[in-house]
Amino acid sequence: MAGSQNNKHAIHDVVIIGGGLAGAALAMTAARMGLSVAVVEAQDTSSFAETTPERVIALSHGSRCHLESLGVWQDVKRAGAAPIRKVHVLEPGNRGEVGMHRAEADVDALGYVVQNAHILKALYEQMPQQVRVVSPAQLAGIELLDDCVRVQVRGDGDEQTLQARLLVGADGTMSRVRKFCGIGSRGWDHNRFGLVASVTPKNQHRDVAHECFRPEGPLAFLPLDAGRYSIVWTLAPREAARMSSLDDAAFMRALKIAAGQEMQAHLGGFVETGPRALFPFEYRVAERFTAPRVALIGNAAHTMHPVAGQGLNLGLRDVGDLSRALQRAVDGGRDIGAPIVLEEYAQQRTLDTASVTAFTEGLNAVFCNDLLPVKLARGLGMAGMDRLPALRSWLLRRAAGLAQQAGGAA
């Protein structure tokens, strides 16, 4: 188990369970405050760079600013970050289209499409040396005490106990930290899968992201490097399995039909496709984001439908708010695991999370409803968007991650 260093009872300021994007970003920030940090990750972190290329993230402008503050954005950009300068939304067979341009938000790009592996690689390459990474390892138990948390970790036949003033759960939708702390969650399974793959269109994408709303769920085309798109195609389970098993030619024909004639006018058809992968969609939010000496971040705190591309962006805002609460505690010489510090974090995150989840679930419900009155209302709304500047501005600020920046880094 890497990082064990024969230390069976290591004491740290912060122990983070989960070394993915949110966990690694928090580890880097906390270490720069002078806190001693340990990260426990189930996967071997040396294999993160080999993550399948199908997994991409639509980073908002606000999240780019966060990565810049960590000093890793230039590395991510060099590895491949395709800008989204315009977002084009339509519904096949319905009148009205919506186009939102980066100039309206006064930013270089509304977002950037980046492979998960590129961000992870940049974070770990620049991770402060004092951060102790324990991987591959699993959380085996938690003991909550008045002045610390004791964490049992097991991996490679080895078991050790870590002690911390603050434990952070960054271990995903099925968070073991959340379970061990008795924190429930609410939500539902969407009974849909996202089929993801890269495709090369006949027409140049010109840094435009397209989203096509269909009764089964949205079909998104996100611009990638080398003139490709990354697609996220929402499908019912049986159809998802069928599409993933088609040969490339049949798959591209099916994709062309699903996109519809209006979208094909922009894409011009497809000439090549890469490997495909499937991921389930669900909505789940923790009943609370903290427990005594414990904070949840990222998917451990909230998992949502990707219709508006807000998942990781929301997780990075968790990191930002928790980091600011920790910095204030450090500056004031206070206990970083004290209830007042965790309450500050929880208050900051509750409103933002509720706002974003209501937005994404509401958007998904409205555009996946095929009742005629709802469909007509959608058409009228999209056709009239240009005459509703306040609504356009509201959508733009959320798409670019600007709405939450008043409180600090995105």
**What is the pLDDT, as a whole number, of residue 9?**
61
Domain range list for the chain: 9-187+282-407
**What is the pLDDT, as a whole number, of residue 98?**
64
Residue 270 CB partners (closer than 8 Å, separation 6+): 199, 200, 201, 202, 252, 255, 256
DSSP string of 28-91, one letter each residue = HHHHHTT--EEEE-SS-GGGGGGS-TT-EEEEEHHHHHHHHHHT-HHHHHHHHEEEE-EEEEE-
Provide the whole-model pTM: 0.84
**What is the pLDDT, as a whole number, of residue 57?**
85
DSSP string of 179-225, one letter each residue = HHTT--EEEEEEEEEEEEEEEEESS--TTEEEEEEETTEEEEEEE-G
Phi and psi at residue 141, in whole multiples of 5°? Answer: 180, 160
**What is the pLDDT, as a whole number, of residue 54?**
63
Question: How far is the C-alpha of 356 from the C-alpha of 283, rounded, in Å?
Answer: 12
| CATH code assigned to 9-187+282-407 | 3.50.50.60
**What is the pLDDT, as a whole number, of residue 50?**
60
Q: Which residues of the chain fall below pLDDT 50?
A: 4-6, 307-309, 366-367, 369-385, 387-392, 394, 400-410
DSSP string of 101-152, one letter each residue = EHHHHTSS-SEEEEEHHHHHHHHHHTS-TT-EEEBS-EEEEEEE-SS-EEEE
**What is the pLDDT, as a whole number, of residue 363?**
56
**What is the pLDDT, as a whole number, of residue 360?**
63
